[in-house]
Amino acid sequence: MEEPQRITDSFPRRRRGPGRPPGRLKDKKDKDKDKVQVKVRDCPRALLQPSLDPALLEMLRRFDLSWEYGPCTGITRLQRWERAQDLGLSPPGPIRDALLEHQDNP
């Protein structure tokens, strides 16, 4: 009889090097170095994106959390809006306008 497969079987196994205790993968120095790299990498991207209106963000948040327009996993906001429109659920028009206006900003 064959053993049932586990989801972890699809990932390659990693060997721990000698002298490295289980559960500790990085030194503290490496951890601090990663934090600095993330900060430097994220700064230019944050400067390029304009800040959005808080009212617009609140409107998008309400659209995301509203179950009357169907589930939102696996699709974009615009796809969800169009699906709700096709189903006759009458989603708010300003949502679509905002999504089309800010297509480059996820």
Q: What is the distance between the alpha carbons of residues 104 and 45, in angstroms, rounded to a whole number?
A: 12
Polymer length of the chain: 106
What per-residue confidence (pLDDT) applies to 53? 85
pTM above 0.75, yes or no: no
pLDDT digits (tens), the chain, 106 positions: 677 777 777 777 776 666 666 665 555 555 555 555 555 455 555 455 556 788 989 999 999 999 999 888 889 999 999 999 999 999 999 999 999 998 887 7
Q: What is the distance between the alpha carbons of residues 72 and 95, in angstroms, rounded to a whole number?
A: 15
Would you list the domain boundaries of the chain?
51-105
State the CB neighbour count (10 A cutoff) for residue 81: 22
